[in-house]
Amino acid sequence: MFILELGCSRRFLSEFLPKGKYMKMDRSINYLWSLLFLMVLAVPLSASAMEMDDCLGCHGDADEVGDELFIDADKFIPTVHAEMGCVTCHESVTDEHPDDGEAVSKSDCLDCHEELGSQYMATEHAEYAVCSDCHDPHQVHGIEAVSGPTMNQQCSQCHEDTDVMDSHAEWLPQASLHIRKLPCITCHTSAEGYEIVLNITQKQKKAEGLKGYRFSSYADLKEISGEKEIQSIIDIDGDNNISLAELRTFNRNPAYKNFHLSGTMVPSEISHDLTTLDNRYDCTFCHASGPGSIQTSFLALPTEDGYYRRMTVEKGAMLDTLYGTPNFYMTGSTRSPVMNIIGLIIICGGFIMPIGHGTLRFLTRKNRKH
Amino acid sequence: MAEEHQNQIYLQPIPVRIWHWLNAFGIITLTVSGAQIRFPDYIHWLGSYKSAIYLHNTAGFVVAISFSLWFFYYTFVARTMANLYVPKVDDFKSGIMRQVKFYFLTYFLGWENPHHPTPDSKFNPMQKSVYLAIMFVLMPLVSLSGIFLTNVDPLRSLIVMIGGLKLLAGLHFLLACCLVAFIPTHVYLATLGRTPTDHIKTMWTGWEDEGEGHTEEPEKSNSTASS
Ligand code: HEM
């Protein structure tokens, strides 16, 4: 029941609050407010007395309704959408469903996601793909919970990997490295900032015929953390913040030699404007924005249900000379100041001979006249 | 030997000269483009970042090819690699000290270079050790690390094994700085011939004047400071 009103109250709110303010609430929804509205509005609007569990009783069982109509309860229930229940989005469903043969309404994402939605609908890409092509409304997650490769799977449904690789290689140096490492949306949305996300990555077993590295899953990490939480592998003091010292300890631990932290860049705010890419065409958007912009970083730890949660990483870790993030290096932006100084000293050393010897040579030139 | 080269010896055969100048211009190009790649926020000499990257990669390729030419020529054609580049026991015992004494003392007094280059013994003991370090340690390591850095994805596990991408990039940078430091020292020492351009001309034409009283004659030599 309470279900429905959440959705309604949000829409209702949006009518009355100034847009900016409403959108802020959109992110951190005020459930107390919603509850209040629930009291007032709920009863008269509901068309069905069925609860989420009732719906899932049939739709959570593929044998009952078929694969097409199957909703994976394990994946749906942990999402924020589940907090609203089913009827919020399927308002027209009646108590007689499915026997009434009536089509069930499916709410429009734009009702609730007004800003992102209208931003997207205004772009050319809206002609090619609708929200549900990329998002399963029953399995939504925020960007912090989704890994880069998973995000890119959304795109690769329509943009074949090889096509993308070929077309980008025409202008992008190291195209395959970029495409493999980066979420498409880092370059293909208009977000103006980015942050670094580190993932624990492990060597695949040769015995299984696999090469290279892949992101470690929760189960992989549980194997090495044993009794303890997987977070303890790297967050030794358990404060949900990874310090430089903890990073170094992890990176130098010989027991983890098959693991390493691989870094990527994700937009720091979600935008759905897929058209703004001019500055991404200029490599220095990422490769020169320099030490300042490389400061904000997170570690993404896998969760039991296959998603991720983020922990903050101490500022400066990306720029640490050797052991902060030994495998995250971006030319131009993660150069180490210590090395720059050593390099400068070496080069200056090359001038000792010309200057020192040259001066003496000049002063003693008479000795060599014959 | 032609008339005009009567008082000259043919010191630098064509393959060596081709290699040397490809290498010299290649390394200067690498230095400039490399500087832009590392410090894009301050250096824009070559236009866009992308052009710096492409230029750097191309120059790296040219230098690697010319390095192979050098190696192939000395090892298999002239077969003088070991003789020319590897210091002998004697060189260590007394040769190096003799040469150091010359460069830093007797040179200023106007004495003659104790070493006289011949095609079979082009380098003085000091040159030998420096060239050995440059050609057998620095150049291969810088090239190798550069090859790794252009193939990060396929070579990922190797890179992780040797201590990470950052270490590799740092190594590439610092070793390249050593090569850069070698240039001013090397060019300076190359001016210590009878006339400042003597050795450089030799490197261009192949012919070295043997003639009269070599006052000094170190060809270019080597450095102390470079590494
Ligand atoms: C503009 C820069 C350069 C100039 C003017 C220059 C000049 C010369 C000259 C005059 C010689 C002949 C003297 C001798 O045999 O020792 C020579 C030889 C040599 N140079 Fe350079 N050089 C330059 C750059 C470089 C660079 C960048 C490298 C290596 C990284 C290099 C490596 C060598 C080596 C190994 C030899 C001995 C060649 C042989 O005969 O086998 N040079 N250079």
**pLDDT at residue number A320:** 84
The torsion angles phi and psi of A248, rounded to 5 degrees, stand at -60, -45
Q: Quote the pLDDT of residue B92.
A: 78
C-alpha A265/C-alpha A193 separation (Å) is: 10
Whether residue A6 is found in the same domain as residue A152: no
Cβ contact B8:B209 at 8 Å = yes
In three-state form (DSSP H/G/I as H, E/B as E, the rest C), the secondary structure along A327-358 is CCCCCCCCCCHHHHHHHHHHHHHCCHHHHHHH
**How far, in Å, is the centroid of ligand 1 from the Cα of B20?**
6
How far, in Å, CA of B157 to CA of B190, rounded? 43
Compare all CA atoms of chain A with the CA of B226 and give the residue at the minimum distance.
Answer: A350
Residues A140 and B77: their CA atoms lie apart, in Å, by 68
Residues with CB under 6 A from ligand 1: B 12, 16, 20, 23-24, 27, 122, 127, 131, 134-135, 179, 182-183, 186-187, 190, 199-200, 203, 219-220
Residues A43 and A158 placed together within one structural domain of the fold:
no
Provide the chain B residues 185-224 that lie in CB contact (below 8 A) with chain A: 185, 187-189, 192, 213, 215-216, 223-224
CA distances from A326 to A139, A201, B164, B173 (A): 35, 13, 5, 15
User: How many pairs of residues across A and B have Cβ atoms under 8 Å apart?
Assistant: 145
Q: Do B167 and A326 touch (CB under 8 A)?
A: yes
Note every long-range contact of A119-124, with CB atoms under 8 Å and residues 24 or more positions apart, other chains counting: A119/A271, A119/A272, A119/A273, A120/A272, A120/A273, A120/A274, A122/A273, A123/A272, A123/A273, A123/A274, A123/A275, A124/A274, A124/A275
Question: Quick one: A192 and A328 in the same domain?
Answer: yes
The answer to whether residues A43 and A189 belong to one domain is: no
Query: Is-contact A326 A260, C-beta < 8 A?
Result: yes
The model's pLDDT over B177-200, given as tens digits with 9 standing for 90+, comes to 999 999 999 999 988 878 888 888
What's the rounded Cα separation, in Å, for the pair A53 and A162? 43
| CA dist A136 → A109, A141, A226 (Å) | 11, 10, 34
Which tokens is B58 given? 């191309």
- Name the domain count of chain A: 3
pTM for the structure as a whole = 0.85
Whether residue A149 is found in the same domain as residue A278: yes
Verify that A301 and A269 share a domain, yes or no: yes
Residues A81, A40: Cα–Cα separation, whole Å: 22
The reply to whether A34 and A175 lie within a common domain is no
- Please report the pLDDT score of residue B109 as a whole number: 84
**Is residue A255 domain-resident?**
yes
Buried b / exposed e over A31-42, threshold 16 CB at 10 Å, is eeebeebbeeeb
Q: What is the DSSP letter of B12?
A: S
| Rounded Cα–Cα distance for residues B198 and B203 (Å) | 9
In a domain, A303, yes or no: yes
pLDDT for res B211: 54
Q: Tell me: do A260 and A307 sit in the same domain.
A: yes
CATH hierarchy code of domain B8-226: 1.20.950.20
Tell me if chain B has a CB within 8 Å of the CB of A254. Answer: no
- For A89, the token pair is 């989005």
Domain for residue A202, yes or no?
yes
H/E stretch holding B27: helix B14-38
Per the CB < 8 A criterion, the answer to whether A263 and A318 are in contact is: yes
Residues of chain A with C-beta less than 8 angstroms from the C-beta of B153: 176-177, 180
The per-residue pLDDT for A2 is 40
A218 and A274 assigned to the same domain: yes
At B120 the pLDDT is 76
Instruction: Name the residue of chain A whose CA is nearest to B170's CA.
Output: A339
Q: What is the pLDDT, as a whole number, of residue A296? A: 85
Q: Which domain holds residue A9?
A: 2-47
B184 contacts A351? CB cut-off 8 A: yes
Q: With CA atoms as reference, report the closest residue to B80 among B25, B32, B46, B122.
A: B122
Which of A11, A28, A47 represents a domain boundary (last residue)? A47
**Nearest-CB residue to A350 (from B49, B57, B185):** B185
Which residue's alpha carbon is nearest to atom 33 within ligand 1? B20
Q: How many CA atoms lie within 13 A of B128 on its CB side?
A: 24
Which atom of ligand 1 is least distant from the CA of B139?
30
Let me know if residue A349 belongs to a domain.
Answer: yes
Backbone angles phi, psi at A189, to 5 degrees: -130, 165
For residues A208 and A151, membership in a common domain is answered with yes
Q: Is A308 within the bounds of a domain?
A: yes
Residues 6+ apart with CB under 8 A from B154: none
Do A249 and A328 belong together in one domain? yes
Q: In a 3-state reduction of DSSP, which class is residue A369?
A: coil
Q: What is the ipTM of this complex?
A: 0.86
Pocket test for ligand 1, best of B220, B221, B223, B226 (most atoms within 8 A of CB): B220
Task: Give yes or no: residues A147 and A238 share one domain.
Answer: yes
Mean pLDDT by runs of 10 across the 370 residues of chain A is 40 38 40 45 51 90 90 91 91 87 90 91 92 93 92 93 93 91 90 89 82 90 91 92 93 90 90 79 79 80 92 88 87 88 96 93 82
Distance CA B127, CA B94 (A): 14
DSSP strand pairing (A213-215 vs A194-203) = antiparallel
**For residues B67 and B48, is the Cβ–Cβ distance under 8 A?**
no
Q: Is the Cβ of B27 closer than 8 Å to some Cβ of chain A?
A: no
Is A96 a domain residue?
no
pLDDT in tens, B28-85: 999 999 999 999 988 889 889 999 999 999 999 999 999 999 999 989 988 888 888 8
**pLDDT classification of B208: cutoffs 50, 70, 90:** confident
